[in-house]
Amino acid sequence: MMSISEKIRQFALDAGFDKVGIVPAMYLDDETERFKLWLDAGHHAEMAWIARDPQRRTDPREIFPAARSVVVVLKNYYTDHRHTSPGKISRYAWGDDYHDVVGAALRTMLELIRTEVPDADGKACVDISPMMDKAWAVRAGLGWQGKHSNVITRDLGSWVFIGELILDLDLEYDAVQVEDHCGTCTACLDACPTSAIVEPYIVDSAKCISYATIEHRGESLPPNIAQNLEGWIYGCDICQDVCPWNRFEKQTSEARFEPRLGQTSLDPDAVIEMDHEAYVERFRHSAVKRAKLGGLQRNANYLNK
């Protein structure tokens, strides 16, 4: 007879996830120290919300006091298409917003768990929740954090979304972690056109194309970014595109991650001419809306220079 932990692992697969691990809900000690050093160095740039109340990010019991276990899941989002330039969109934003897709699957998991434990309670977390997603994926033994700071798996590469389901249940935990397999490789550091990976495992957001084209709210882009966009209008995948581990990438089974309208890029001229109504229609339920119309048009203007 399957234990509740075994059933939860099966529920994760039934809900559409590709990998799952279960670990105790506890304070992230070593990860917290690294996080604080990153913040102290100012590598979060203008993202003040990241530095706000760091304790909530390092202990799941701060956001769900009844927490006993963290079920960590990965969902493959790779689709077999290529970027076109200029106006390239980061691969993760080609399809529907992953917050919606992964969040719905986590809630489905919770409902399945309640068929076995009716009084079980939990909280679904996808990126915007104050959880250190990458740290939890590593702790759950799903992969390792590569030199580009993304989580890498041996069987899917790094094209994965991370989610957590925090539960008030004591479960059977995974104890084995995946060792770092980056070795002496520096492909991601060498390929970054703005040198945003300032040292292995450390990304300075202020130098990152992805940060600048999505999170940066200024009317202009920093010169180092503007001169090295390499065709990107929303995000950047260069460090993942060159990662040798992504030779193991596999086509996702999730149709909602296929490129909307078959597009992996946006015509800069069309973006510049886009009005708010057209923007809302084009990017409804898309992660691209994070950049807002003004941000996309700013980026498009730089691509046209």
The yes-or-no answer on residue 127 being catalytic is yes
When pLDDT is cut at 50, 70 and 90, the band that residue 57 belongs to is confident
Same domain, 130 and 9: yes
Mean pLDDT of 189-203: 98
**pLDDT at residue 302 is higher than 90:** yes
For 89-116, how does the pLDDT look when each residue is reduced to its tens digit (9 = 90+)?
999 999 999 999 999 999 999 999 999 9
State CA 55 to chain mean position distance: 21
pLDDT the model gives residue 251: 98
Q: What is the percent of the chain with per-residue pLDDT over 70, rounded to a whole number?
A: 100
Q: Give the dihedral of Cα atoms 97, 99, 104, 106; nearest 10 deg.
A: 140
Residue 163 lies in a domain: yes
Please tell me the total count of domains within the chain.
2
Residue 179 lies in a domain: no
Same domain, 62 and 137: yes
In which domain, by residue range, is 114 found?
Answer: 4-80+94-167
pLDDT the model gives residue 53: 78
pTM confidence score: 0.96
Same domain, 105 and 195: no
Residue 174 lies in a domain: no
| Contacting residues for 24 by C-beta, under 8 A, at least 6 apart | 68, 69, 70, 173
pLDDT the model gives residue 85: 82
Same domain, 51 and 197: no
Same domain, 228 and 294: yes
When pLDDT is cut at 50, 70 and 90, the band that residue 9 belongs to is very high
**pLDDT at residue 49 is higher than 90:** no
User: Residue with structure tokens 């970014």?
Assistant: 225
Give CA separation, 32 vs 36, 131, 196, 206, 262, in Å.
6, 11, 22, 21, 41
Catalytic entry in 100, 121, 127, 174: 127
Return the H-helix or E-strand segment holding 69. Answer: strand 69-76
When pLDDT is cut at 50, 70 and 90, the band that residue 55 belongs to is confident
pLDDT the model gives residue 38: 96
Q: Indicate which CATH number applies to the domain containing 14.
A: 3.40.109
